[in-house]
Amino acid sequence: MKKKKNEYAYDFNEDKEYYIYLNACRKKIGKKKLMIIGENNYSNYDEWSGYVNQKYSCITTKSLVAFKRHLKYQIRASGRIEGSYSAVLLPLIITWVTIMLDRFFPSDAINNFLCIIIFVYLFWELLKNYFGDTKKSLMYEDYLEIIENIIESRKMKENV
C-alpha cells in the first residue's frame, strides 16, 4: 500500500529530503527530481538547515529524541552497506573479472570487447551505488546534527 502525503515517520520522506539535500549542496539533479522537491528549492546549506530547523521546531522533544534514534539507525545501516561493498563485493568482482578475462582473452576481438563493456558497466554500477549511499549517510549525519542542536537548545531553555 502506498503511503499518502505526510504519512511518513516523523514527516520524513527520505527520497524527497535526499533530493532537497542534494540540491542545497549544489549537486546536479534531474527535472523529475526537481518536481518532487517542489517549493523546497534551497541554494545553499544554510537555507537548507534553516528549513530543517523550522520543520522540526514545533515537534515535541520526545518525538525529536525518537527521530534522533531513527537517524542514528539509518547512519549505521548505510555504514553496513558501504562495508559490504568494500569488504566483499569489490574483491569478488575483481576476481570474477580476472577469471573471465583469462577465459575470453585468447578468443576473438568481438568477445573481448563485449566482455570489457560488461565488466566496465558492472563496475560503474557498483561505484555509483557505493558513492550514492555515502551521500545519503552524509545527509543523515547533517540531519542528526541539526536535530541534536534543536534538542540541546530546548534543554538549555528548560534549565534557564
Count up the domains in the chain and report the number: 1
Q: Is residue 3 part of a domain?
A: no
Q: Is residue 2 part of a domain?
A: no
Q: Is residue 62 part of a domain?
A: yes
Residues 143 and 48 sit within 8 Å (Cβ to Cβ): no
Q: What is the pLDDT of residues 56-74, one digit of tens each?
A: 988 898 999 999 999 999 8
Q: Is residue 149 part of a domain?
A: yes
Give this prediction's pTM. 0.68
What whole-number distance in Å separates Cα of residue 74 and Cα of residue 12? 12
Q: Is residue 64 part of a domain?
A: yes
149, three cell numbers: 542542536
Could you tell me the residue range of the domain that residue 121 belongs to? Answer: 9-159
Of 55, 43, 14, the C-alpha closest to 139 is 14
Q: What is the pLDDT of residues 74-108, one digit of tens each?
A: 888 876 655 556 667 667 777 877 777 777 666 66
